[in-house]
Amino acid sequence: MSDVCARVPGMRTNLIVSTPDNQWRVRELHVAGRLSRLRRGLYTGAEPDRRSLVEAAVVRLDAVASHETAAALWGLPTLGTSTTMHVTRTRRSQGVARYDGVTVHHASLDPAHLAVHNGIPLTTPARTVLDIARHRSFRAGVVVADAALRMRCCTREELLAVAEACRRWPGVTKGRRVVGFADEQAESPLESISRVAFHDYELPVPILQAVIGGYERADFLWPDYRVIGEADGLGKYTSPDVLRREKEREQSIAQLGFTTFRWTWRDAFRRPDALAYRASQILSRHGYRA
């Protein structure tokens, strides 16, 4: 396909534009199954990957990747998987349209909120976080905000600046709450949604990644009650040696006078109320009074 050389300017993958000079050759390759048609006049390899589909949506709609799609491109985790691509194009009024597997958001795009990452135009990490926080649940916003701060994709000041720039937009109050609650010490989405569960139940605020006894580290610590919480992600204990070391670790923590309780993704995601109630009961047994 080296003779088909008209490509989309700025894009790094093989999006091919059909022009008067190459249209017959492009058509031959398409009929032969060597090119896939993404839209009229725009093609890619026979098996388009998600990146090519995102680029095609951006070009076709004169938009930028945003929301969950931008988060994926920045490497930020989100709560759940999106079955559609998200793009934003400039409009003075807010609105959403859905078609062809693409969710199109209409909103202003401040130049300060735009970037190019690996050749794809998209919203900056800070704008991406605020967009998700405005449109989705509080805990979904916290997951991506915690990760953005932890991975140093943006700062809290940058998040607040975007919130201020979008101060009259729908959902921005919730977005500000997410920014205020976000904590770079949360090391995983599981820890993020667990924090939200405890917050919603108005439990005492735990210390994250606290050092116990000078060398052991706990996911959550309520120091006034000497209670430790451990968020056990899938695959955390992958071998008998790991299990043995974890048992020894828990015994050493117990000898220091701490009580440890554990939970999984299933607990925090499906029944956050039950997780928070269990935590409250354990804290109550160690002196906590609601």
Percent of the chain at pLDDT > 70 equals: 78
Q: Where are the domains positioned within the chain?
A: 1-46, 57-181, 189-284
CB 146 within 8 A of CB 182: yes
pLDDT tens digits along 113-171: 999 998 899 999 999 999 999 999 999 999 999 999 999 999 999 999 999 999 999 99
The more confident residue out of 182 and 2 is 182
CATH architecture designation of domain 189-284: 3-Layer(aba) Sandwich (3.40)
Range of 50-54, 82-86, 230-234 with top mean pLDDT: 82-86
pLDDT of residue 213: 78
List CB contacts of 241: < 8 A, sequence separation 6 or more: none
Distances in Å between the Cα of 155 and the Cα atoms of 77, 142, 174, 221, 224 are 17, 14, 18, 25, 30
pLDDT of residue 257: 86
CA distance 60 to 2: 24
CA distance 26 to 8: 14
pLDDT of residue 38: 59
Query: Measured at the alpha carbon of residue 34, what is the angle toward residues 33 and 39, in degrees to the nearest 5?
Result: 85
pLDDT tens digits along 240-288: 676 667 776 777 777 788 999 999 999 999 999 999 999 999 999 999 9
What amino acid is encoded at 184 in this protein?
A: E
CA distance 211 to 217: 4
- DSSP annotation string for 166-231: TTTSTTHHHHHHHHHH--TT--SHHHHHHHHHHHHTTPPPPEEEEEETTTEEEEEEETTTTEEEEE
Locate tokens 């080296």: which residue? 2
Rounded average pLDDT over 103-117? 94
CA distance 202 to 180: 16
CA distance 16 to 41: 8
pLDDT of residue 35: 64
pLDDT of residue 4: 40
pLDDT of residue 239: 63
The more confident residue out of 5 and 107 is 107
> Over the chain, what is the mean pLDDT?
85
CA distance 26 to 101: 25
CA distance 160 to 146: 14
What amino acid is encoded at 119 in this protein?
A: G
The more confident residue out of 217 and 226 is 226
The more confident residue out of 244 and 219 is 219
Burial class (CB in 10 A: 0-12, 13-18, 19+), 85: buried
Would you give the DSSP letter of residue 112? G
pLDDT of residue 25: 73
CA distance 259 to 128: 39
Whole-number CA gyration radius for the chain: 24
pLDDT tens digits along 16-45: 666 777 776 767 665 666 666 655 666 665
Task: Give yes or no for residue 231 having a pLDDT over 80.
Answer: yes
List CB contacts of 14: < 8 A, sequence separation 6 or more: 1, 7, 44, 45, 52
CA distance 137 to 148: 17
pLDDT of residue 233: 61
